[in-house]
Amino acid sequence: MVSTSLKPSTQLFVYPPVWLPEPFEWSNYYKAVTTVPFFAYLQNTVIVACCATLGVVISCPLAGYSFARLQWRGRDTLFLVTLAVLMVPSQVTMVSLFIIFSKLNLVGTFYPLILPSFFGAPFFIFLMRQFFKQLPKSLEDAARIDGCSEIRIYTRVMLPLCQPAILTIALFQFMHSWNDFVGPLIYLSDERLYTLQLGLQQFKQAYHTEWSQLMAASVLVAVPIIVFYFFVQRSFIQGITFGGIKG
């Protein structure tokens, strides 16, 4: 992808393929961000990805803590139902969700891409529950002796300890929202609201595709995810590891 993004058009389809283009066609990157409103699409994608990530960071630790540390009637049954939802493909609920958002007059906005994350995601809830269960119960007991309420125990004691798991679900959700193509394709019809994944389609025209510019734009789209993972990789690996320790 990087090699193709730097190739002039005369070297795209030669055989044997040219892995190191000569000369480097850096203008492909300039054309990639000027041929389409790339930065407007980038802004839209950042808004959707950040808001959706905020949604799972708020909702999933709450649900995971409730399933792991609180005692209430029907807890285990509801958790089994949550796990069962993991087996349901997203395509199954796609039509019903579209009907719901259509009746709420939210189609054509960012809300259908953001609001579901504030109701939790089964896999992230499972991951947070597993992480909370491996924390020692003595921490809660000590906090209760000091007079802490359940809310204070959750916010002041538990949440700081589960930072690796929170960063893990944040990375997963950010990557999902950043790379999502089907959701924006279904809900967004106004080109001004397009995300980057929809914007990349602008390089594929009816009779001609600008492959060098498309690859250059794809490289620019992939860079933020790579940089994000580079900064949180240690916490990401720790969160995945600890999340599977205790059932």
Return the exposure string of 163-176: e unless at least 16 CB atoms fall within 10 Å of the residue's CB, then b. ebbbbbbbbbbbeb
Containing structural domain, residue 80 = 37-196+230-243
127 within domain boundaries:
yes
Write down the pTM of the prediction. Answer: 0.85
Residue 2 in domain: no
At what angle are helices 211-243 and 163-179 packed, to 10 degrees? Answer: 150
- Residue 1 reports pLDDT greater than 60: yes
Lowest mean pLDDT across 10-19, 44-53, 148-157, 177-186 = 10-19
The CATH number that applies at residue 163 is: 1.10.3720.10
Q: What's the CA gap between 232 and 222, in Å, rounded?
A: 16
68 domain-assigned: yes
208 found inside a domain: no
pLDDT band at 244 (very low <50, low <70, confident <90, very high): very low
